[in-house]
Structure 1
Amino acid sequence: MNRFLLEASWEVANKVGGIHTVLKEKAPFIKEKFGDEYLVIGPYVKDTGFQEFNALQLPPLFKEVVEETEKFGIHVFYGEWLVEGRPRGFLIDFNELMMKANMFKYELWDVFKIDSTRTGRDYEEPITWAKATSIFLKHFCQHFTGRKIVIHTHEWLAGSILLFEKFNTLPSVSTVFTTHATVLGRSLASAGVNFWETFSSIKPDEEAKRYGVEARHGIEKYAAQYARIFSTVSSPLTIEAHHFLGRKPDAILPNGLDFKRFPTVEEMAHAHRKYRESIREFILFFFSPYFRVETSNSIQLFISGRPEIKNKGIDVYIKALGRLNKKLGKDDKNVYAFIFVPGETRDIDHTLAHNLSLYRNIEERIDEMTNELKSRLLHYLVHKKQARTGGLFTKDEFVEFAKMFSSIRHESDIPLSTHIPSPNDPIMKLLRLENLTNAKDDKVKIIYYPSYLSSTDGLLNINYEDAVSGFHLGVFPSFYEPWGYTPLESSASGVLTITTDTTGFADFLQKHTKQSNKNPGIFIIGRKGRTDTATVQLVTDVMQKIVRLNKQDRVENKLEARRLAQSCEWKKLISYYFEMYKKLLP
């Protein structure tokens, strides 16, 4: 091997956020291109270290590098990341160095004046891992002197690797730093600052200190300036990074999807029907203790993402639902709006859990009786008699079901959530402000689901990706979203999708695809330069239009959403990475 591509991230074999998805899904394409010359580097995290990593015997090729590193009290695990392609790599155990975290913080202050006095463990762990990794990489580069080596780091969490050691002074070593969102941009957006229109008046270092993110911002800024190639994931983020980090990015590396995870166009209809029925069944079980539920003529929509109320547009979504609830008439379809956003909860709603269990027991009992019921129904049809429930079910069966239904529990108020949220839950507060209370006559009803979806969660019992296929519409009116995986995943599933022009994903579509005016599939809301109130009105209008679409138009939009999403397949977008690496690894 005459060259190495080393990719380091806090999220290699360590699922924390969206960057894990990026790294995992592009890994097989990088591995196919570079083979064993491609190595990943991540943290060894206690308790979860080997959930995604299979330790292997260390090859002689790397023995000396690891031995030299371990002299510093750093244990190095060699193995394969358990994702498609099985890329080989290293997990760096930084735990024994944690007692020296203050030394590493001082090192960054002494050289770069990065002030970390207001940081905690969520800062100390990544920089300690980065310090340990920089020691490992130093010995790696020294051992393989003369071979072309690229060190590619992601986000501030790995960015300090480039600050602890001067890798760019080594003639055969090149470095890349990629930011997927700036620390300052996320902080300003969370506070509601529309910084896109006020770049010239913002002093980045001062604002970072004001918002308490000066240490992370400092690492990000200097990593961007010290890397040979500085890259982002979208055009909007490129502009933002240039202003906040003081360097114009050299490359844009858009995020893709592995479409093998999603139903094919031929499978979409089947997947939609299957999971739509599961969702409708859940809606029935959720509301039927309180009033009669009609789901056959209804629209199911959702929002999902991190609990960033402003950045993710959760506030706009809820306010738009409040307006939609007032605008829909009695002849319009019923709307069931889900909120899949993890939040702090005190417990699951045990009344709901009890009722769900009871309903599913009733359903199982009916399944057991299916053959007998079919036989009885056939008897009526053959003899041209009108079927009556009194004839379909025996007296004992009626008593059995009556006992089951008598066990259904009711709460004093119709629930809004599957859990008992904390008293200060911001989503619950917004729902009440918009008078979204799940009253019987409301056209829009809410199910707030403040936990991660799972096929074994005892509630909906569906994984997130499968659940998405069952919805009619995904709504993601983000205020700050440098890329936007949630709208991309929604449209990849053949689901009509609302997003905004502030997202990198929408920007990519507008520049690289041609959308249908009649059936756009992905509805891009113009949020730049608009007030929240104006955005809410636009989202409301689009949702109302979608609710009123006929079936044929919905199908056309589903197909168009899928077509547009396919422009973001990794097999297409990986070329952006290859083009960048070609400059460094000829």
Structure 2
Amino acid sequence: MISDKLLTPDYIFESSWEVCNKVGGIYTVLSTRAKTLQEAFPDRLFFIGPDVWSGKENPLFTEDDELLKAWRTEAETKDNLKIRVGRWNIPGNPITILVDFTPFYAVKNDIYTQAWLDFQVDSLHAYGDYDEASMFSYAAGKVVESYYRHNLTVADKVIYHANEWMTGLGALYIQKHVPQIATVFTTHATSIGRSIAGNNKPLYDYLFAYNGDQMARELNMESKHSIEKQTAHHVDCFTTVSDITDNECKELLEKQADVVLVNGFEDDFVPKGRSYSAKRQKARKALLNVANKLLGTRLGDDTMLVGTSGRYEFKNKGINVYLEALNRLTRDKNLKRDVLAFVSVPGWVGEPRKDLAERLKSKEDFDTPLECPFITHWLHNMSHDQVLDMLKYLNMSNAKDMRVKVIFMPCYLDGNDGIVNLAYYDLMPGFDLTVYPSYYEPWGYTPLESMAFKVPTITTDLAGFGLWVNTLKGHYATLQDGVKVIHRTDYNYSEVADAIRDTLTEYSALSPKEIEKVRKNAAAVAEQALWKYFIKNYYVAYDVALRNAAKRLEENKF
């Protein structure tokens, strides 16, 4: 329910590189939130994404030639835009416009020059994905301008919501060319903060001393930082996803968020009742089967299955400290159960292991391990992979007599990886516990999703989600709460590893009744993070943007 005191938009346009394009956590934010917004603004919510699937079938997008037909014709003939209109195949099925941004490369330098003249956006040092993102962003802005000119009037209250630095140029374009539209910009993680953390520099203790512009020069991040900073300063409402990232914005972008938009989610993909039990059983069987065929073991159902997943950011996501904790666990005499730990992060994957695939077809038991008994798929860079390197450095062996074994699944768990052949959400119920000891994590969907599947988790207070849980509970959350939140700093790596080890040992000693209680508590915390509770923050952001846009129009007498 939207408060009567808030200004409410008539139309919302939202752009992101991850609309109908599943590459990261922002996809989860947008795709789970869409249903709630579509119900509040039926077919007055439009998502704009890049047409990177041009010429190929996109399973996430259903084109509809009749939808917005009159405008589409105008946009293509009069505005020279190459677009496809249809619906995003997610709950809510919102109207979606995919734009081919490649024609704008021809005028790229003119676009960058104008962005400098208008907003001091420095694109001189662009490299990598900056050009691609910027041309999409500009094209998305042109799409919204076209729709507004052909279909809407100054009487309509319109929001343009841009996500991440990759859509900043479009927000600034709208601000200049269609000033009647109120702009919202969300940074899901500052580009320079992620870079500082990823380059092994201490982010938190020295945050107050860092100058974002200076660090951008030092780390060769000038253009991305520039578009992000200028967009944050110029839009009608600047937002971010957690208090910890808000602090980062204040220091590195020199702009505090107007509203913090905490990330919620929908639990409609979580199986219930008998369906859940069946999926849990199937997932455990699949994980244990892969392990036993790879390792030549006979691990039973009483094995404690532990997992981590997400992006392959070795330090930022805490994969290093997770492996360190597992190594220390091998020497813990209080461990009551065998532990089989998985690292499910997509690496530079080559192909499924043929030797493992052959064994998986067989019904027989094997008592000899395969060569390199740590990995399910061959990598292109076997000799320079951070997970394999650390396992080697820690002298982990996966020998039969070791109580802790580690398996690296470096593939996208899409159900067709050639080894496990189960999708990520189908595997999730099979775990007993998950570990996400992030060093840099603006929010943290992975621990939240884990808990929604009744799988207790371990995270840190450097993750936005971990901080939120502590606030919710009024204390540092413990395993009994369904989530253990570990205090993490720039320098307490070893203490974090010990805390993970101790929590895994503690879980191994729980009785079935105690485990059931912990699992229920995990699901109860996840329930508190549904979009129906968090969407109100968006309505506040829309209100702020609409009021500031009206003020801006009045001051400039457009």
TM-score, normalised to structure 1, is 0.85
| Partners of 1:473 and 1:496 within 8 A in 2 | yes
SS of structure 1 residue aligned to 2:330: helix
Larger CA Rg, structure 1 vs 2: 1
1:246 aligns with 2:254: yes
- The reply to whether residue 32 of structure 1 matches residue 39 of structure 2 is yes
Q: Contact (CA 8 Å) 1:351, 1:409: kept in 2 or not?
A: no
1:418 — aligned with what?
Answer: 376
Equivalent residue for 1:162, pick from 152, 168, 171: 171
**Pick from 220, 229, 239: which aligns with 1:231?**
239
On the 8 A contact 2:237/2:545 being kept in 1, the answer is no
Q: Where does 1:178-217 land on structure 2 (aligned, <5 Å)?
A: 178-217=186-225
Residues 1:54 and 2:65 are matched in the alignment = no
Q: Which of the residues 373, 380, 399 maps onto 1:439? A: 399
Counterparts in 2 of 1:537-548, with a 5 A limit?
537-548=498-509
**2:138 aligned residue (127, 131, 136):** 131
Instruction: Judge conservation of contact 2:9–2:542 (CA < 8 Å) in 1.
Output: no
Q: What residue number does 1:342 align with?
A: 346
Q: Trace 1:383-422 onto structure 2 (pairs within 5 A).
A: 413=371, 415-421=373-379, 422=381
Deviates more, 1:233-242 or 1:87-96: 87-96
Contact 2:338-2:403 within 8 A present in 1 as well: yes
Q: Per-residue CA shift, 1:155-179, capped at 9, x if unaligned?
A: 1111111223434873x42110011
Asked if the contact 2:451/2:522 (under 8 Å) is kept, the reply is yes
- Matches of 1:178 and 1:479, distance apart in 2: 21
Q: Does the alignment pair 1:535 with 2:539?
A: no
Where 1:12 maps in the other structure, the secondary structure is coil
SS at match of 2:328: helix
Choose the corresponding residue for 1:101, options 94, 102, 108. Answer: 108
Q: 1:84 is aligned with what amino acid? A: P
* Greater mean deviation of Cα atoms: 408-417 or 211-220: 408-417
Equivalent in the alignment of 1:476: 436
Report Cα offsets for 1:55-100 as digits up to 9, x if no partner.
Answer: 223567x735762565453212222222211111322221222233
Call closer, same or farther: CA 1:519–1:121 in 2, change over 3 Å: closer
Alpha-carbon separation, structure 1, partners of 2:525 and 2:131: 41
Query: Which of these residues, 513, 520, 525, is aligned with residue 559 of structure 1?
Result: 520
Q: Tell me the secondary structure at the aligned position of residue 11 of structure 2.
A: strand
| Rounded Cα–Cα distance in structure 2 between residues aligned with 1:191 and 1:295 | 41
Per-residue deviation, 1:441: 1.8
Equivalent pair of 2:133/2:166 in contact (CA under 8 Å): yes
Farther off after superposition, 87-96 or 490-499: 87-96
Change (3 A) 1:101 1:504: same
Kindly indicate whether residue 74 of structure 2 is the aligned counterpart of residue 116 of structure 1.
no
When structure 1 is superposed on structure 2, of 514-523 and 150-159 the one drifting more is 514-523
Shift in Å, 1:555: 1.4
| Counterpart contact for 1:41–1:92, Cα < 8 Å | yes
Greater mean alpha carbon deviation, residues 34-43 or residues 2-11: 2-11
Instruction: Verify the 8 A CA contact 1:501 1:524 in the aligned structure 2.
Output: yes
Q: Which amino acid aligns with 1:77?
A: R
What secondary structure sits across from 1:519 in the alignment? helix
SS, match of residue 340 in structure 2 = strand
- Provide the aligned C-alpha RMSD in A: 2.5
* Equivalent runs, 1:284-303 vs 2, <5 Å: 284-288=292-296, 292-303=297-308
- CA drift at 1:517: 5.5
Q: Which moved more, 1:308-317 or 1:239-248?
A: 239-248
Q: Distance in 2 between matches of 1:102 and 1:353?
A: 51
Q: What is the CA–CA distance in structure 2 between the aligned matches of 1:419 and 1:492, rounded to whole Å?
A: 28
Contact 2:237 2:544 in 1 (8 A): no
Q: After superposing the two structures, state which structure 1 stretch, 480-489 or 96-105, moved more.
A: 96-105
Using a 3 Å threshold, how does the CA distance of structure 1 residues 441 and 118 change in structure 2: closer, same or farther?
A: farther
Q: Which residue of 2 aligns with 1:92?
A: 99
CA drift at 1:270: 4.5
Partner of residue 419 from structure 2, selected from 459, 482, 503: 459
Deviations 1:178-211 (A, max 9, x none): 1111101111111222322212211101101211
Q: Which amino acid aligns with 2:518?
A: N
Q: Read off the aligned partner of 2:520 and give its amino acid letter.
A: L
Given that 1:168 and 1:228 are in contact with CA atoms closer than 8 Å, whether structure 2 keeps it comes out as no
Asked if structure 1 preserves the Cα contact closer than 8 Å seen for 2:295 and 2:369, the reply is no
Q: CA deviation at 1:563?
A: 0.7
Give the unaligned 5+ runs of structure 2: 1-7, 548-558
**Post-superposition offset of 1:543:** 1.6
Q: Which moved more, 1:276-285 or 1:296-305?
A: 276-285
How far apart in 1 are the matches of 2:158 and 2:32?
A: 23
- CA deviation digits over 1:458-511, x for unaligned, max 9? 312211111110110100000010000100011110011000001111111122
Q: Decide whether aligned partners of structure 1 residues 154 and 73 sit closer, same or farther in structure 2, where only a CA change above 3 A counts.
A: same
Q: Is 2:266 the counterpart of 1:258?
A: yes
Quick one: distance in 2 between partners of 1:2 and 1:576?
Answer: 14
Indicate the SS of the match to 1:466. Answer: helix
Task: Indicate if the aligned counterparts of 2:263 and 2:443 stay in contact, CA closer than 8 A.
Answer: yes
Q: Deviations over 1:527-557 (max 9, x none)?
A: 1364212211222221221222222221111
Identity of aligned residues (%): 31
Kept in 2: contact 1:73–1:97 (CA 8 A): no
CA gap of 1:36–1:165, structure 2 versus 1, over 3 A, is closer
Alignment correspondent of 1:3? 10
Question: Residue 236 of structure 2 contacts residue 545 of structure 2 at CA under 8 Å; is this kept in 1?
Answer: no
| Deviation string, structure 1 residues 107-155 (Cα, Å, up to 9, x no partner) | 3344444443443352111111122222232333344231211111111
Cα 1:75–1:351 shift into 2, 3 Å: same
Quick one: which amino acid aligns to residue 196 of structure 2?
Answer: L
| Count of matched residue positions in the alignment of Structure 1 and Structure 2 | 534
Question: SS state of the match for residue 327, structure 1?
Answer: coil
Q: In the alignment, does 2:158 pair up with 1:153?
A: no
| C-alpha displacement of 1:230 | 0.6
Q: Comparing both structures, which one devotes a greater share of its residues to helix?
A: 1
Is 522-531 or 310-319 further displaced after alignment? 522-531
1:2–1:511 Cα change, 3 Å: closer
Q: For the Cα contact (< 8 Å) 1:114–1:214, is it kept in 2?
A: no
Alpha-carbon distance between aligned partners in 1 of 2:233 and 2:515, rounded to the nearest angstrom: 48
1:490-501 pair list within 5 angstroms: 490-501=450-461
Contact 2:246 2:256 in 1 (8 A): yes
Determine whether 1:304 maps to 2:304: no
Q: Is 1:357 the equivalent of 2:365?
A: no
Out of 200-209 and 128-137, give the one that drifted further: 128-137
The answer as to whether partners of 2:245 and 2:464 remain within 8 angstroms in 1 is yes
Residue type at the aligned position of 2:215: E
C-alpha contact 2:122 2:227 (8 A) present in aligned 1: no
| Aligned counterparts of 1:270 and 1:64: Cα–Cα separation in 2 | 48
| CA contact 2:211–2:251 (8 Å) conserved in 1 | no
